[in-house]
Amino acid sequence: MNRGFWDHLKAPIIGLAPMDGVTDSAYRYMVCKYSKPTLVMTEFTNVEGLARGAIGMLKAFEYDEIERPVVAQIYGSEVESFYKVALMNCFLGFDGIDINMGCPANKVARRGSGAGLIRTPDLAKLIVQTVQKACKDFFNGITLEEANIRPKIIAALKKIDKYNEKDRRLLPVSVKTRVGFDSDITLEWIRHLIEVQPANITLHGRTLKQMYMGLANWESIGKAASLCKNTGITLLGNGDIKSIDEAHQKMTQYGVDGVLVGRGTFGNPWFFSNHSPTPQERAQAAIEHCKVFEKLNPGSKFFIMRKHLGWYCRDFDGARETRSKLMQSENSEEVKNVFKEVFPALEEES
């Protein structure tokens, strides 16, 4: 089993969970700048689209060196496409590759991707083995041309500053999944995954059917952690962690090797530190986040930032009115002007 960077992480492992539509390059940069999680993962990216030549999807694989170790997360159901995109990830210098087997979105699962793979364990295992093979083939010197990757994708990859044909590390492969599809089958499902020896399994304590409703089942996560003991596979828990103290409590109580935190980081890039930000610090960070987003995504629709602004805007008098104004903002300068109405000192600091 190749564990790569997983063997060099300092305990306890408390990382940033991948979240579609949230953990883009700007979000990850802000979190890593202000509190540095143990590791981060990109938003999941569809392998079929990329394998067929959707160059625009490469945007999801942008990252800053401050994020390391950084893991590319991918999803889909076509084995050949997984192979090709895994090779792309290797050439882009990621520290690892994670296969999403947990997304509960209907448009993903109904195609047999994401959490839909829980229903097809043989395919799920073949996908893990295929990505592992791609990583080994990369390490042994295969070229993108030899892998029959489309020329326009190859050309686009070679323009990305992270592209490196010489740094041929053997990347570890991990899996992020759920306790089941429409019922909890943790033990059966985890046993399947153990057979193909991913470096790490991250387990969200809800079924696909639950989506994000109810409470995550940490008892099931604990059972999965017990199964993984002495296998060489680390097991991270995921679900409902709202603070660093709670992360430590879950690790101790359920015997997991670590946790990934998702929604608990909303509006709080300081989550992984011991710092409790003031409302003004949140406002300052919100403005900076907007500027980072604009720099990394020139010409993109600014409305993507509005949900983040809503998360930053809390815990002060007039937050509701301020939030309402922020939802109409079109750029970072407008965001700054809105916050200055509440925090005049921001004019000097920004």
**In which domain, by residue range, is 240 found?**
4-265
Is residue 141 one of the residues assigned to a domain?
yes
Is residue 273 one of the residues assigned to a domain?
no
User: For 182-205, how does the pLDDT look when each residue is reduced to its tens digit (9 = 90+)?
Assistant: 888 999 999 999 999 999 999 999
- Residue partners of 121: CB distance under 8 A and separation at least 6: 189, 192
User: For 90-143, how does the pLDDT look when each residue is reduced to its tens digit (9 = 90+)?
Assistant: 999 999 999 999 988 889 988 999 999 999 999 999 999 999 999 999 999 999
Is residue 271 one of the residues assigned to a domain?
no
Give yes or no: residues 255 and 284 share one domain: no
Q: Out of 265, 287, 315, pick the residue that ends a domain.
A: 265
Residues 2-31 have a mean pLDDT of 96
The pLDDT-based confidence of 212 (bands split at 50, 70, 90) is confident
Is residue 287 one of the residues assigned to a domain?
yes
Give yes or no: residues 246 and 107 share one domain: yes
Give yes or no: residues 202 and 292 share one domain: no
Lowest-confidence range among 90-94, 307-311, 342-346? 342-346
Give yes or no: residues 244 and 304 share one domain: no
Start-to-end C-alpha separation, the chain: 48
Give yes or no: residues 79 and 128 share one domain: yes
Is the full-model pTM beyond 0.75? yes
Give yes or no: residues 244 and 161 share one domain: yes
Lowest-confidence range among 69-73, 127-131, 271-275? 271-275
Strand (E) or helix (H) holding 251: helix 244-254
Give yes or no: residues 286 and 205 share one domain: no
Give yes or no: residues 70 and 99 share one domain: yes
CATH code at position 56: 3.20.20.70
- Residue 165 carries which DSSP code? S
Give yes or no: residues 302 and 188 share one domain: no
The full length of the chain comes to 350
Asked if pLDDT for residue 322 goes beyond 50, the answer is yes
Q: Out of 204, 230, 265, pick the residue that ends a domain.
A: 265
Give yes or no: residues 160 and 238 share one domain: yes
Q: Out of 214, 230, 265, pick the residue that ends a domain.
A: 265
Number of structural domains in the chain: 2
Residues 31-59 have a mean pLDDT of 96
Alpha-helical runs (H) found in 67-146: 79-91, 106-109, 121-139
Is residue 272 one of the residues assigned to a domain?
no
- Give the Cα separation of 306 and 320 in Å (integer): 14
Give yes or no: residues 61 and 181 share one domain: yes
- Give the Cα separation of 233 and 201 in Å (integer): 7
Is residue 11 one of the residues assigned to a domain?
yes
Give yes or no: residues 314 and 204 share one domain: no
Is residue 290 one of the residues assigned to a domain?
yes
Is residue 270 one of the residues assigned to a domain?
no
